[in-house]
């Protein structure tokens, strides 16, 4: 009988300890969610994960919890937002509330389809220009002809950005066609290095070797391919003809025929 009593008492103590370990106490104003999640993990052993950009870990709240349950804390965090949560295996996952079919249809017809063309000051089309809806992850790029198509909320603003050019912000306000002319940003051009891997690096922090070749110095009439103008003008760059057929792309090698990374073509 005594043994049974001891076992029951130990079980109750474990349950009580487990319940106590799931409670959170924190009283602090303007505490970031990152710190809030850290306190939840330390006090209860639960991890909190965000699967949406509608709420960020840098968002601040006024925490006034005294032995609050995990559910009470999470409800406070997502209060007033279109979010929900699930708890499984000591992990709290915060996700957006799934939209109904009706809401999706309403959003579809409420969106404004905007088309247009992006040019430079000379009137030439600019391919690869980034068009982004301000404050959203919604973004597209212009095609080879400088044309773009994007669907945005009415009243949104579009930001046009392109390396070497000044960014432009334009409000949609019901317009369905927006043509944009970008102006060159000479200061930006002088501070940015574009590498062969397609990355952009600030010139002040770039540690590699670069060569600057003006078009006027390299331009040679009668050449069908502009890449052949680089032959003999940039150190380590060799341009070889692979065929006598007109229009065939040449073979370009950088820093010799071999390199530590394999092919140097």
Q: What is the pLDDT confidence band of residue 129, given thresholds at 50, 70 and 90?
A: very high
Average pLDDT across the chain, whole number: 76
- Tens-place pLDDT, residues 173-215: 878 899 999 998 766 555 556 665 556 666 666 666 677 777 7
Nearest to 70 by CA among 142, 18, 122: 18
* 147 pLDDT above the threshold of 90: yes
What phi and psi, each to the nearest 5 degrees, are found at residue 94? -100, 125
Averaged pLDDT, 107-120: 81
**Could you tell me the two tokens for 155?**
């009243």
Q: Characterize the bridge pairing of strands 147-153 and 111-120.
A: antiparallel
pLDDT at 19: 39
Q: What is the pLDDT confidence band of residue 25, given thresholds at 50, 70 and 90?
A: confident
224/178: higher pLDDT: 178
Q: How far is CA 89 from CA 38, 48, 49, 96, in A?
A: 17, 11, 13, 20
* 163 pLDDT above the threshold of 90: no
Averaged pLDDT, 109-125: 86
Averaged pLDDT, 248-255: 76
pLDDT at 201: 64
């Amino acid at each position: 009988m005594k043994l049974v009593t001891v076992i029951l008492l130990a079980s109750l103590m474990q349950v009580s300890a487990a319940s106590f370990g799931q409670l959170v106490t924190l009283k602090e104003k303007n505490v970031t969610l990152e710190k809030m999640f850290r306190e939840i993990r330390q006090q209860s052993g639960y991890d909190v994960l965000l699967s949406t950009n509608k709420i960020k870990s840098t968002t601040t709240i006024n925490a006034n919890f005294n032995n609050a349950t995990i559910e009470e804390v999470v409800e406070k965090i997502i209060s007033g937002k279109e979010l929900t949560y699930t708890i499984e295996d000591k992990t709290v996952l915060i996700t957006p509330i799934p939209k109904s079919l009706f809401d999706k249809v309403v959003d579809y017809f409420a969106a404004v389809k905007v088309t247009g063309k992006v040019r430079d000051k000379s009137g030439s089309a600019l391919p690869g220009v980034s068009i982004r809806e301000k404050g959203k992850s919604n973004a597209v790029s212009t095609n080879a002809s400088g044309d773009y198509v994007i669907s945005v909320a009415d009243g949104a603003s579009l930001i046009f950005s392109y390396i070497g050019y000044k960014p432009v912000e334009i409000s949609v306000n019901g317009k369905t066609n927006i043509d944009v002319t970008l102006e060159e940003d000479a200061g930006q051009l002088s501070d940015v290095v574009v590498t062969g891997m397609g990355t952009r690096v600030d010139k002040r922090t770039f540690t590699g070797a670069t060569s600057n070749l003006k078009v006027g110095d390299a331009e040679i009439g009668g050449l069908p391919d502009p890449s052949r103008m680089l032959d003999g003008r940039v150190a380590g760059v060799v341009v070889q003809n692979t065929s006598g057929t007109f229009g065939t792309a040449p073979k370009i090698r950088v820093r010799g025929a071999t390199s530590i990374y394999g092919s140097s073509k």
